């Protein structure tokens, strides 16, 4: 069920006209109301609302001195911290819209964004002036905020800014391999902030984390939820300071609202184990990736009843789509991932391949309809037309590319990405379903699944896992664990153990996953080399068709990633190589080279006639995968 939050102080009240004002206008009204309240703090540096406003005003005047008046994109290039917040507000106060670039981005990405956004000015600081200067070839000037002199005064500017004016271009990963810019206006972001602040009951006494980079959508949202409601925001660089420091910092700064990706939350929850509970923390908000059953269990075991959990779904294009705020009594569904209840300002639709709404309880693509969606991609009209549909005069539909099902109580269940549906041996498979199954293993901390293969129809599944430390599970153990809940065609053929998964803004970067290692996996059975000519020849066949080196004579066919189609190829190759009259059923049900060699040895006195050999090979070639699977399932190991 969805729970309300009851902080000690009443939540901010929102006027109906609030979303029709600009972000700087709303911020200045907060400054006037709470001039001496803490606005932002990072380590030993802290600014009140008045101090932050004055810094932004000086930056705004310095921007105007270089660009003149009028709306245009301005690039903001900083590390995570207070300076980037002041720069964003300054650029907006100057009547511009911004393109946030984090200094940790690869040079190629920085160059692409600068060129694509057509920004003429880069706003940065002394720490990043070298990086900004290196991109001056993009026809950009640059402004170092650490060198702004006394000519630029601290008073508010009287520049008219409309709610329909552009606020930002947010670059997100694109399916073509290059970032895509999503355009948002002041009113679009204001509506999202208003809705989120009401759900979270944000008030002036709240102290919110800012762990996400401001070059990503979720970072912007949390920044504005804080500063447009008189709360305090606390940037923290978890990558630089470490997760152990983050857990301690949450208590020291008396944080009340925590927001991060589920992957970072898992590390924080584990580092909190055995410590005193964070009594000031009233809300844990996870976004950027689906919240798994493991995440919910970590929340229950590491946070007290005073702390609620928020999860949901959003996108750079549609901002907040749905969410739920729950307590320890929430029942995690048996199938799929819960992502909450649709937000009031948008309507969530589930559409079939033809764009029609599916029947209640059926699976469809999640689409969002409303007035306050981003209306386009920057300089990509074709992509805009593909993903956005106009409905009437002021409403649009955005197609998320995610699959979902609506429960009868209104809770939306996420069933993975359309583009993460793969076909393995003829079966349609959702990769996230396997990932969730792996995360249920007590020794697995992170998991990712990818399909690999050089030829169509020959793809296989690879699992990438990060363990919790201590003794890592064996491949045999993981395969057995997954086989208890997944059909055999969904059990990965290869398991790779990594120190960490490649992430982009808290999400798994599947394109950065390493090429599979086709060496012998870590099995319960130790490696035993072939002892005779038959075993040696079988090892050569198995290694060639399984693409694994080396293969031991007691290695289990299934634990090496074998499946019914591979088994058929092996049996066919064995018959051709040994030219013997062999029982197909016995060969299919020989899980090891040693067992198969014993069958071959027993039949060496029965060479096959040309006709018999042809019939056996023909029978194998004519087998459907289902028939081959039935042969394999005659073996207990294959079940």
Number of Cβ within a 10 Å radius of residue 479: 24
Percent of the chain with pLDDT over 90: 34
- Which structure tokens are listed for 341? 């209840």
Convert the pLDDT of each residue in 504-516 to its tens digit: 766 788 888 888 7
- Which structure tokens are listed for 420? 């993460």
Cα-based angle 264, 269, 275 (whole degrees, multiple of 5): 140
Q: Give me the pLDDT at residue 61, please.
A: 97
Q: Give me the pLDDT at residue 17, please.
A: 58
pLDDT at residue 4 greater than cutoff 50: no
pLDDT at residue 14 greater than cutoff 50: no
Beta strands at 257-260 and 376-377: parallel, antiparallel or unpaired:
unpaired
- Which structure tokens are listed for 272? 């909190």
Q: Give me the pLDDT at residue 553, please.
A: 85
Categorize the per-residue pLDDT at 556 as very low, low, confident or very high, splitting at 50, 70 and 90.
confident
Closest C-alpha to 319, from 365, 390, 375: 375
- Structural contact between residues 401 and 419, judged by C-beta atoms closer than 8 angstroms: yes
pLDDT at residue 565 greater than cutoff 80: no
Q: Give me the pLDDT at residue 338, please.
A: 93
- Residue bearing the bigger pLDDT, 344 or 17: 344
Convert the pLDDT of each residue in 213-255 to its tens digit: 887 767 888 899 999 999 999 999 887 787 778 988 999 999 9
Q: Give me the pLDDT at residue 46, please.
A: 97
Distance in angstroms (rounded) separating the CA atoms of residues 346 and 314: 12
Beta strands at 364-370 and 395-406: parallel, antiparallel or unpaired:
antiparallel
Distance in angstroms (rounded) separating the CA atoms of residues 504 and 247: 22
Closest C-alpha to 612, from 571, 586, 584, 581: 581
pLDDT at residue 86 greater than cutoff 70: yes
Q: Give me the pLDDT at residue 630, please.
A: 61
Q: Give me the pLDDT at residue 583, please.
A: 67
Categorize the per-residue pLDDT at 637 as very low, low, confident or very high, splitting at 50, 70 and 90.
very low
Q: Give me the pLDDT at residue 387, please.
A: 79
Q: What is the mean pLDDT of residues 343-372?
A: 88
> Which element (helix H / strand E) includes 250?
helix 243-252
- Residue bearing the bigger pLDDT, 631 or 495: 495
- Residue bearing the bigger pLDDT, 453 or 496: 496
pLDDT at residue 369 greater than cutoff 60: yes
Q: What is the mean pLDDT of residues 308-329?
A: 89
pLDDT at residue 275 greater than cutoff 90: no
Mean pLDDT of the chain: 83
Q: What is the mean pLDDT of residues 127-141?
A: 79
Q: What is the mean pLDDT of residues 573-585?
A: 76
Distance in angstroms (rounded) separating the CA atoms of residues 39 and 391: 40
- Residue bearing the bigger pLDDT, 157 or 431: 157
Q: Give me the pLDDT at residue 5, please.
A: 35
- Structural contact between residues 122 and 77, judged by C-beta atoms closer than 8 angstroms: yes
Distance in angstroms (rounded) separating the CA atoms of residues 243 and 102: 20
Categorize the per-residue pLDDT at 622 as very low, low, confident or very high, splitting at 50, 70 and 90.
low
Q: What is the mean pLDDT of residues 576-603?
A: 78
Q: What is the mean pLDDT of residues 352-361?
A: 89
Q: Give me the pLDDT at residue 432, please.
A: 80
Number of Cβ within a 10 Å radius of residue 341: 20
ω before 8 within 30° of 0 (cis)? no
Beta strands at 207-210 and 232-235: parallel, antiparallel or unpaired:
parallel
pLDDT at residue 59 greater than cutoff 90: yes
Distance in angstroms (rounded) separating the CA atoms of residues 496 and 447: 10
What residues contact 76, with CB distance under 8 A and at least 6 apart? Answer: 84, 87, 88, 91, 98, 99, 100, 101, 122, 123, 124
- Residue bearing the bigger pLDDT, 562 or 4: 562
Q: Which domains does the chain have, with CATH numbers?
A: 17-201 (3.40.50.12780), 425-512 (3.30.300.30), 533-638 (1.10.1200.10)
């Amino acid at each position: 069920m969805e729970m309300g939050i009851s902080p000690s102080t009443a939540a901010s009240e929102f006027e109906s006209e609030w979303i029709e004002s600009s972000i700087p206008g709303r911020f200045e009204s907060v400054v006037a109301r709470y001039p001496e309240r803490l606005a932002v703090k990072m380590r030993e540096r802290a600014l009140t609302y008045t101090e932050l406003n004055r810094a932004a005003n000086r930056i705004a005047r310095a921007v105007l001195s270089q660009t003149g008046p009028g709306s245009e994109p301005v690039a903001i290039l900083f590390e995570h911290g207070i300076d980037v917040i002041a720069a964003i507000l300054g650029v907006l106060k100057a009547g511009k819209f911004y393109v946030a670039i984090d200094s940790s981005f690869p040079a190629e990405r920085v160059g692409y964004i600068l060129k694509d956004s057509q920004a003429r000015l880069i706003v940065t600081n002394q720490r990043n002036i070298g990086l900004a200067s290196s991109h001056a070839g993009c026809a950009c000037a640059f402004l170092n905020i650490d060198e702004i002199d006394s000519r630029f005064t601290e008073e508010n500017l009287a520049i008219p800014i409309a709610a329909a004016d552009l606020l930002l271009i947010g670059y997100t990963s694109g399916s073509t391999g290059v970032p895509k810019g999503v355009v948002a206006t002041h009113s679009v972001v204001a509506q999202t902030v208003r809705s989120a602040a009401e759900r979270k009951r944000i008030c002036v006494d709240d102290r919110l984390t800012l762990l996400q980079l401001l070059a990503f959508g979720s970072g912007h949202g949390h920044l504005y939820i804080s500063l447009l409601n008189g709360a305090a925001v606390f940037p923290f660089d978890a990558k630089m300071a470490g997760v152990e420091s983050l857990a301690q910092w949450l208590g020291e700064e008396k944080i009340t609202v925590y927001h991060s990706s589920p992957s970072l939350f898992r590390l924080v929850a584990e580092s909190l184990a055995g410590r005193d509970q964070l009594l000031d923390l009233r809300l844990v908000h996870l976004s950027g990736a689906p919240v798994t059953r493991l995440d919910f269990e970590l929340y229950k075991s590491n946070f007290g009843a005073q702390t609620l959990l928020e999860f949901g779904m959003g996108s750079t294009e549609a901002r907040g789509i749905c969410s739920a705020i729950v307590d320890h009594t929430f029942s995690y569904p048996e199938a799929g991932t819960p992502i909450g209840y649709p937000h009031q300002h948008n309507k969530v639709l589930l559409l079939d391949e033809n764009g029609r709404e599916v029947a209640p309880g059926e699976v469809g693509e999640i689409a969002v309809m409303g007035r306050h969606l981003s209306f386009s991609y920057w300089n990509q009209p074709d992509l805009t037309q593909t993903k956005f549909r106009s409905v009437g005069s002021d409403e649009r539909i955005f197609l998320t590319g995610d699959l979902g099902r609506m429960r009868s109580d209104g809770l939306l269940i996420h069933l993975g990405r359309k583009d993460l549906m793969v076909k393995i041996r003829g079966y349609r498979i959702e990769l996230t379903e396997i990932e969730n199954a792996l995360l249920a293993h007590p020794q697995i901390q992170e998991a990712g699944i990818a399909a690999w293969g050089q030829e169509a129809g020959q793809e296989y599944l690879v699992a990438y896992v990060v363990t919790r430390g201590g003794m890592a599970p064996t491949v045999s153990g993981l395969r057995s664990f997954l086989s208890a809940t997944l059909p055999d065609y969904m059990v990965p053929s290869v398991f790779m153990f990594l120190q960490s998964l490649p992430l982009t803004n808290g999400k798994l970067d599947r394109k950065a996953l390493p090429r599979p290692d086709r060496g012998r996996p870590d099995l319960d059975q130790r490696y035993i080399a072939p002892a005779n000519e038959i075993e040696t020849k079988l090892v050569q066949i198995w290694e060639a068709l399984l693409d694994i080196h080396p293969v031991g004579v007691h290695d289990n066919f299934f634990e090496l990633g074998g499946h019914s189609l591979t088994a058929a190829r092996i049996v066919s190759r064995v018959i051709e190589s040994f030219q013997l009259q062999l029982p197909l059923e016995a060969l299919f049900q020989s899980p090891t080279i040693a067992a198969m060699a014993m069958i071959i040895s027993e039949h060496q006195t029965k060479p096959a006639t040309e006709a018999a050999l042809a019939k056996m090979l023909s029978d194998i070639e004519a087998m459907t995968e289902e028939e081959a699977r039935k042969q394999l399932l005659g073996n207990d190991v294959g079940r």
